[in-house]
Structure 1
Amino acid sequence: MEIIIAVAIGVLTGSGLWLLLRPRTFQVIIGLALISYATNLFIFGMGRLRSNAPPILEPGGSSDLATLADPLPQALVLTAIVISFAMTALFLVVLLASRGLTGTDHVDGRETDL
């Protein structure tokens, strides 16, 4: 399971970085979203990947912390999802305003002749 999460983080990060280097603003926004997804997976993976483990201590239960899930990474990921959604919405509004003012969606505002 850990190798699948590690490969997914690597693929998302690599794809996001490749899209960040593209000349069009929409591709840059999608690249930022992919990097935020990779960061969320990384934070979630740091909280130990356990299934069917309770996140809190129960009265009279075992006090072995290795059998419990860590709720802090889950809370951080939920917060990061909300922040990345708001950031993506803001960037899309800026993209539309920039395209309306300049007439192009290139990062530097100029079309290159190929």
Structure 2
Amino acid sequence: MHGEVRDRHGHPVLDAGPARVDDGRPPKTWGKITGIVTGPAGPLPGAVVRITTSGAHYTVITDASGHYRLWVDARNPLQVICADDGDQSQMATVGIRRGATTTLNFTLQKV
């Protein structure tokens, strides 16, 4: 699920591609969550990051460098679950601010 997805207003909300950097301007009420998912051997491409806001659920797949990013309406808090086959999943709760970038990295361990 690499690439760009747009919301019902035509704004980009998902960009997990390695060469894309936030093309377009999100609404002023949105914030960005981003991070890197790593494991014992380094970055984890293809890891699943599930982000739940008060109004929506998103699934992002990390790119070849283990990066993920998502612009969302700044409704707080966000529940974020990160998982990859053969690794212990992790969950975190994080707040984001309008117009700001929040970084949330995960380091997964083998089960």
TM-score by length of 1: 0.24
TM-score calculated relative to the size of structure 2: 0.24
